Amino acid sequence: MFGIGATELIIILVIVLVIYGGKRLPELGSSFGKAIRNFRGAGSEPDEIDVTPGKTPPAAPQDKDKTPDSSKNDPSA
């Protein structure tokens, strides 16, 4: 694959086992598998954005500190 033979893979796995321990390896393998699955899934998603009429985006949250008519209080306006 990348010029890595069986001996090199075994050495890498032993180093990972020493660093993370036996109890943490299944968790690492699971998270690594999920990451690869998400990466592959992202490549199959459509590149376009759905702009179907009739769908309205959610309203943006408003700051509680700002009033709707804040231009009256602004001396620079």
pLDDT per position as a tens digit, 3-24: 888 899 889 888 988 888 888 8
Q: Which residue type is seen at 20?
A: Y
CATH number 1.20.5 is the correct assignment for the domain at 1-44: yes
Mean per-residue pLDDT, 32-49: 80
Q: Which two tokens stand for residue 32?
A: 């690594």
Q: What is the mean pLDDT of residues 54-70?
A: 64
Q: How far apart are CA 77 and CA 73, in angstroms?
A: 9
Sequence-ordered list of residues with C-beta below 8 angstroms from that of 25, at least 6 positions apart, any chain: 16, 17
Instruction: Report the share of the chain in percent with pLDDT over 70.
Output: 64
Mean pLDDT for the stretch of residues 35-61: 74
Cα 71 from chain centroid?
40
H-only helix segments in the chain: 6-20, 25-43
Tokens of 25: 């390896």
